[in-house]
Amino acid sequence: MVKINRNYLKLKAGYLFPEISRRVSAFSEAQPNASLIRLGIGDVTEPLPEACCQAMKDAIEEMGSSSGFHGYGPEQGYLWLREAIAKNDFQSRGCQISADEIFVSDGSKCDSSNILDILGEGNRIAVTDPVYPVYVDSNVMSGRTGEADQLGQYDGLTYLPLNSENCFEAELPREPVDLIYLCFPNNPTGAVASKEHLEKWVDYANKNNALILFDAAYEAFIQDPLLPHSIFEIDGARDCAIEFRSFSKKAGFTGTRCAYTVIPRSLKGLAANGTEVDLWTLWNRRQSTKFNGVSYIVQRGAEAVYSLSGQSQTEKLVSFYMENASIIRKELSSVGYKVFGGEHAPYVWVKAPKGQGSWQFFDFLLQNANVVGTPGSGFGTAGEGFFRLSAFNTRENVEEAMRRIISL
């Protein structure tokens, strides 16, 4: 019989969101008339920006004509999209990122997992706690950790706790690490990083020859113009960081699929024989072998995000979700909940009341308010006692969910 990847057996239960779906399905079967409001998984609800739809319709017309048909595209993405990204997302903010350092893909979840393909197995890895579960699970699946302990923490990972005392900003690791996952604005806590905080990490990484994997999927939700959107706004980051970005949340592409990863040409890793190797070259090789690019139609849709109308439409989308976040913060605070995040991120991190555990509060809200959130403990041990509410929903649903919760 075929042998399986034994690392999968180390994984704790199901991936968080399928586990939530399982509990919600069981509840819905038992109470088919309950009207559920889902503020759990961060999935967008509002329609795609008109500019993106129009660009994709035009691209379909083109593909249906002999002169406009496209077969396989470049694995790295079409140059016109990479140029628009480099100019609008980086050069306009003073970052020296060029189009050829951008690799267009179908998602940051995939990229932040697949990046392990080009990294060696002996790296010491740091993750925050709580953390976006994909960073941990992809390391477990690829055999880079030992077993989980009783708390669910994997042997071989360095956990950096995030809590209200450190304002949800991790302290630098006490033991040496080679690979550091950072996510700002943060999923799940909704915290945002100042320039000084990122400088601290870039400085650490350069001094310790470490690599930062910087997930900036939620950068568009930053409201304060002085806060950095990219790690490449920090001097020295080109020598120590890879950044992941996504069109999913800012332009409603969760079902359309388009994202990108930035790998500076100057970034190096170490081969077993001690020579330095370009990470760009390895990722380019990996993508050319295992990936056939994002569809032409979708890349045209993503390009339209940078048109004048696309920019104003995506700004409206982002503002809409941020108003939802502000309603959640305001309503919950008004009845005494302790809330964090939600000011520069579409997630509000709520302290479960009366010392309840995360899953206990999840079940309580599901049963009594028919509102679905995400238990903080699903993101790590230090998330126990917290609960994440997503601002991605209709205004009506967010207001109704708040009415239900505050009346409990």
Binding site for ligand MLT (CB under 6 A): 41-43, 109, 187
Compute the least distance from the CB of residue 106 to ligand MLT, in Å: 12
Compute the least distance from the CB of residue 120 to ligand MLT, in Å: 26
In this complex, which beta carbon is closest to ligand MLT, that of residue 21 or of residue 98? 21
Compute the least distance from the CB of residue 277 to ligand MLT, in Å: 30
Compute the least distance from the CB of residue 71 to ligand MLT, in Å: 30
Compute the least distance from the CB of residue 283 to ligand MLT, in Å: 21
What torsion, rounded to 10 degrees, do the Cα atoms 246, 249, 250, 254 define?
70
In this complex, which beta carbon is closest to ligand MLT, that of residue 12 or of residue 268? 12
End-to-end CA distance of the chain: 54
Compute the least distance from the CB of residue 122 to ligand MLT, in Å: 28
Q: Dig out the tokens for 231 from the structure.
A: 């790690």
Instruction: Give the β-pairing of 371-372 and 37-38.
Output: parallel
Compute the least distance from the CB of residue 133 to ligand MLT, in Å: 8
In this complex, which beta carbon is closest to ligand MLT, that of residue 240 or of residue 294? 294
Host H or E run for residue 363:
helix 358-369
Q: Which of 385, 381, 398, 380 is nearest to 187 (CA)?
A: 380
Other beta carbons less than 10 A from residue 351's beta carbon: 17
In this complex, which beta carbon is closest to ligand MLT, that of residue 107 or of residue 264? 107
Locate tokens 């569809």: which residue? 295
In this complex, which beta carbon is closest to ligand MLT, that of residue 19 or of residue 43? 43
Q: Which of 352, 276, 256, 205 is nearest to 55 (CA)?
A: 256
In this complex, which beta carbon is closest to ligand MLT, that of residue 41 or of residue 141? 41
**What are the φ/ψ torsions at residue 248 (nearest 5 degrees)?**
-60, -50
Instruction: Give the β-pairing of 125-129 and 386-390.
Output: unpaired
Compute the least distance from the CB of residue 254 to ligand MLT, in Å: 7
260 residue type, one letter: Y
Cα torsion 373, 378, 379, 384: sign: positive
CB 388 within 8 A of CB 376: yes
103 residue type, one letter: F
Compute the least distance from the CB of residue 248 to ligand MLT, in Å: 6
In this complex, which beta carbon is closest to ligand MLT, that of residue 37 or of residue 234? 37
In this complex, which beta carbon is closest to ligand MLT, that of residue 41 or of residue 148? 41
d(CA 389, CA 189): 10
In this complex, which beta carbon is closest to ligand MLT, that of residue 43 or of residue 399? 43
Q: Which residue is closest to ligand MLT by CB?
A: 42
What torsion, rounded to 10 degrees, do the Cα atoms 54, 216, 101, 160 define?
-160
- The DSSP code sequence of 249-279 is TTSS-TTT--EEEE--TT-EEE-TTS-EEEH
